[in-house]
């Protein structure tokens, strides 16, 4: 095998992996958020759940991506562990589509498919057409890479040392271990199985040896879900354990089946496949070694699913026993923490299909929690100003620190997410949530300013007039009404944004009127100088709260529109 063959192998592998990435990115951009809705709605029935998992994975050509989404849904509490079992089983069936496509040997059409895709990407302005073009271009590049790998591996048939290495995979344990490790490294069973098919087509590895590598590849694909479960809750980790158990059980069953049948025919070269089981597989797709591997992969996952389908609930219970609930840390609510999101430091750097879909609800819940704190601070601060009471301001300051903490963590999380997200709709929603977080933090700052005015009122013995106190009470009421509109009403409802905008306009009108009233009191001499300054500052904070409420309402509407 010369330098040119090695370069061809590396180039083919690069094109193959890049083609898969292009397809995933195009599908993510075209339909990432839709898959979330499908998975959420159609998982109550086990058969429907398996079907949905299989179809979605067949479309996106990545069982890892589907499983990662499932782990995220379980972590967010949007899907039960029992529902996750059916999706995971279906995902293992759907992932076989890549191998079957490779087995069809459509490489001759690959350049044309890639050309059509690139034309759509470059010359068509419509976003949807560009996404479809990216999918087609990725598919074409994938098969071009596959052909390059197959061609570059042909000289390996003459390399005795490489043949000896491939022969060691006749040992089931070595074959399974090699397949699992290689797939874990490249984190794509579709890609690793494609490479195995290229080796088989080139005559480098015999079918009898390749099956054990194939079984190991099914185990190795679980590594992506394992990495995705780092930092998640107990149930999400159990979903990963179920995925691992499915493939380990399938590997044990099929390895036992293949070992039970005599392999003498392979040793003397009289047949290509082992025993009656191999003969049955050959009759289904005898044309190419790649086809035999694809059929075996399909049978592996379908058979394992049929065997384990009645035992799905027992798999969930076994996962619970393997990972029992841990004692809840005491006084956790007294410590600043993210209640719904995983901190960026524990979230890892992995992106992938449907990432934004996984965290949309988590982000929304975290922002609602943050907004509730800001509302409580606005209420307590206005009340402290009216009562000239500094006793409750310590709680206000603690909440303000908590709001700042949440804003920092949410901002870091969103920045991390945007850097790896490819779905335009998901990115738009996440960007809106980033803006919302900043506006909530500013509402908290204005509430903190109000708390500062309370201390000045007490320390300098300043009292607002009866008229001013009535106006401050009105400010408090309308501010809380506006913030509550954000918490308890869904964006996207008819006239919702208009109602919030009208409240913000009322705040502006009240601010203008109260300033005029203040000027009148100054002329009448019933407002001292320091009190006037404080009241003017208070009006400014009041008006700013209304501005930020409207900003949040507009971003919520924008995020809802992106769905």
pLDDT in tens, 284-336: 444 577 778 888 888 888 888 888 888 888 888 888 888 887 654 444 455 78
Alpha helices in 77-203 (DSSP H): 81-94, 97-103, 110-123, 127-153, 160-167, 172-186, 189-201
Pick the closest to residue 26 from 73, 60, 71 (CA basis).
60
Taking a C-beta distance cutoff of 8 angstroms, is the pair 142, 195 a contact?
no
- When pLDDT is averaged across residues 84-93 and rounded to a whole number, the result is 84
- Domain assignments of the chain as residue spans, ordered by start: 3-321, 354-562
Q: Encode pLDDT of 146-188 as tens digits.
A: 677 767 766 666 666 666 676 677 788 888 888 888 888 776 7
Q: Encode pLDDT of 507-547 as tens digits.
A: 999 999 999 998 888 887 777 778 888 899 999 999 999 99
516/524 Cα distance (integer angstroms)? 13
Alpha helices in 460-562 (DSSP H): 466-488, 496-524, 529-562
Average pLDDT, the chain: 78
Taking a C-beta distance cutoff of 8 angstroms, is the pair 462, 553 a contact?
no
Q: Encode pLDDT of 334-392 as tens digits.
A: 578 888 776 544 344 444 444 555 567 778 888 999 999 999 999 999 999 998 888 88
Pick the closest to residue 315 from 88, 79, 13 (CA basis).
88
Residue 391's pLDDT is 84
Q: Encode pLDDT of 454-481 as tens digits.
A: 988 888 888 888 888 999 999 999 999 9
Reported as a pLDDT band with limits 50, 70 and 90, residue 95 is confident
- When pLDDT is averaged across residues 13-22 and rounded to a whole number, the result is 75
| CATH class, 354-562 region | mainly alpha
Alpha helices in 489-528 (DSSP H): 496-524
Taking a C-beta distance cutoff of 8 angstroms, is the pair 296, 208 a contact?
no
Residue 11's pLDDT is 83
Taking a C-beta distance cutoff of 8 angstroms, is the pair 13, 185 a contact?
no
3-state secondary structure labels for all residues of 329-374: CCCHHHCCCCCCCCCHHHHCCCCCCCHHHHHHHHHHHHHHHHHHHH
Taking a C-beta distance cutoff of 8 angstroms, is the pair 514, 471 a contact?
yes
What is the number of H-type helices and E-type strands within the chain?
Answer: 24, 0
Cβ neighbourhood burial of 388 (10 Å; 0-12, 13-18, 19+):
middle
Q: Is 159 helix (H, G, I), strand (E, B) or coil?
A: coil
């Amino acid at each position: 095998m010369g330098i040119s063959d090695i370069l061809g192998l590396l180039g083919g592998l690069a094109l193959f992996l890049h083609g898969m990435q292009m397809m995933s990115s195009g599908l993510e951009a075209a339909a990432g958020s839709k898959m979330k809705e499908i998975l959420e709605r159609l998982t109550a029935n086990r058969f429907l759940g398996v079907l949905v998992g299989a179809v979605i994975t067949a479309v996106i050509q990545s069982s890892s991506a589907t499983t990662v989404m499932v782990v995220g849904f379980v972590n967010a509490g949007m899907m039960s562990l029992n529902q996750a079992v059916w999706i995971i089983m279906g995902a293992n069936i759907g992932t076989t589509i890549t191998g079957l496509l490779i087995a069809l040997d459509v490489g001759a059409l690959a350049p044309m498919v890639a050309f059509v895709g690139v034309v759509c990407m470059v010359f068509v302005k419509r976003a949807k057409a560009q996404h479809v073009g990216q999918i087609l271009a990725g598919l074409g590049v994938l098969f071009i890479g596959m052909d390059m790998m197959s061609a570059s591996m042909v000289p390996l048939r003459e390399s005795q040392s490489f043949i000896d290495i491939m022969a060691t995979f006749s040992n089931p344990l070595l074959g399974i271990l090699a397949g699992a490790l290689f797939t874990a490294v490249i984190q794509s069973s579709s890609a690793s199985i494609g490479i195995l098919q290229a080796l088989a087509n080139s005559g480098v590895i015999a079918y009898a040896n390749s099956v054990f590598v194939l079984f190991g590849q099914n185990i190795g694909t679980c590594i992506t879900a394992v990495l995705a479960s780092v930092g998640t809750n107990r149930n999400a980790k159990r979903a990963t354990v179920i995925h691992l158990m499915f493939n380990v059980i399938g590997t044990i069953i099929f390895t036992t089946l293949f070992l039970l049948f005599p392999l003498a025919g392979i040793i003397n070269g009289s047949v290509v496949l082992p025993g009656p089981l191999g003969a049955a597989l050959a009759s289904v797709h005898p044309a190419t070694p790649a086809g035999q591997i694809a059929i075996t992969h399909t049978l592996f996952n379908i058979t394992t699913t049929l065997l384990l389908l009645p035992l799905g609930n027992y798999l969930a219970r076994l996962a619970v026993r393997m990972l029992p609930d841990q004692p809840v840390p005491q006084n956790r609510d007294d410590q600043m923490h993210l209640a719904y999101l995983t901190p960026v430091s524990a979230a890892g750097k992995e992106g992938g299909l449907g990432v934004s879909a996984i965290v949309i609800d988590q982000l929304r819940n975290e922002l609602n929690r943050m907004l509730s704190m800001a509302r409580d601070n606005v209420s307590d601060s206005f009340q402290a100003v009216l009562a000239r009471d500094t006793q409750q301001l310590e709680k206000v300051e603690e909440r303000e620190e908590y709001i700042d903490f949440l804003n920092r963590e949410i901002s870091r999380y969103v920045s991390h997410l945007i850097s790896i997200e490819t779905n335009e709709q998901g990115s738009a929603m996440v960007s809106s949530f980033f803006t919302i977080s900043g506006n909530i933090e500013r509402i908290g700052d204005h509430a903190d300013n109000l708390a500062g005015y309370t201390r000045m009122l007490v320390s300098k013995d300043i009292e607002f007039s009866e008229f001013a106190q009535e106006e401050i009470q009105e400010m408090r009421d309308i501010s809380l009404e506006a913030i509550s509109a954000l918490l308890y009403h869904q964006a996207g409802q008819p006239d919702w944004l208009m109602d919030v905008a009208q409240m913000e306009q009322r705040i502006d009108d009240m601010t203008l009127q109260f300033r005029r009233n203040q000027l009148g009191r100054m002329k009448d001499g019933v407002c001292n100088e320091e009190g006037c300054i404080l009241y003017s500052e208070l009006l400014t904070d009041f008006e700013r709260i209304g501005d930020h409420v409207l900003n949040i309402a507009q971003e919520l509407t924008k995020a809802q529109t992106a769905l």
